Amino acid sequence: MRALARLAAILALLAGSLGSARAESLIAAMSSHQILITSNYTGSQLTVFGVVERDGRTVARGDPYDIVVTARGPRRMLLVREKERLGPIWINRTQRRFPDSSLFLTVASNRPLSEIMSPETARRERVGLENAHRTRDAALDFDTTTARFSDGLLRILSEKGLYSAAERGVTFLSSTVFSAPIEVPATAPTGSYEIEIVLYAGGVPLARQTTNFEVVKSGMEQRLAAGAHELPLVYGLVTVLMALLLGWLASVVFRRD
């Protein structure tokens, strides 16, 4: 019994040493956590930078480190409709809803995702643009109609500049220090955004960290937006009066005597 107890203790120590040998963690930060939209706003850029921290007893890995940075938000219910021709006109017929979907999504990595992980892993972890709208129910992913609508949604948002991928968007400044610029276009909606940084080695996720930033209106735009929500009746009356005043001024300026 004592021999068995000693053997169990040795196995426990080995398991603990192996666990510590695989201990990596991520320390990441952002250049800014807020983007202010003004009247001349044309887009902005944030930079995610960080370091891979290893335990002092961590052994060197045979596979290099890979970093995948995913920025997404705000989440909404997205509805995709397909137009079909009915005689001389086009009408909306079939539609699909994509609940809790991101209006903005960008994926950056230090090399192509196909070189970092297998397609099965990417689908399971929902990594990459093509896997962003995969459902939790795996059976629905084989629905050809749903897949067609998902591809259409991806195409529409990519054309608007809201969905993008950068296969070389993450740069390793050293073996453990990295940085990744995140382009936020002028069409990005206001709201809260989440950034997820995941560390991989050999296609296996080792550590992850999340942070966030927000896009908000500032200056006159913010005051007008706040007034429209807080005092809708006054905002509507002022808008009508301004329209009447501008119409009267236009009639005076362009009046023909």
Q: Please answer whether residues 48 and 68 qualify as being in contact, where contact means their C-beta atoms are separated by less than 8 angstroms.
A: no
Tokens of 51: 């370091």
Q: What is the pTM of this model?
A: 0.73
How far is Cα 229 from Cα 221, in angstroms, rounded to an integer?
13
Please report, for residues 1, 57, 72, 186, the alpha-carbon distance to residue 10 in angstroms, rounded to integers and kept in the order given. Answer: 14, 18, 46, 60
How far is Cα 20 from Cα 91, in angstroms, rounded to an integer?
61
146-205 pLDDT, tens digit per residue, is 788 888 889 999 999 999 999 999 999 998 899 999 999 989 999 999 999 999 998 889
> From the CB of residue 154, how many other CB atoms can be counted at a distance below 10 Å?
16
Beta bridge partners of 50: 28, 178
- Adjacency order of strands within the sheet including 34-37: 34-37, 204-217, 191-201, 65-86, 89-109, 163-166
Positions in the chain whose pLDDT score sits under 50: 3-5, 7-21
All structural domains of the chain, each given as residue ranges with its CATH number in brackets, are 24-218 (2.60.40.1930)
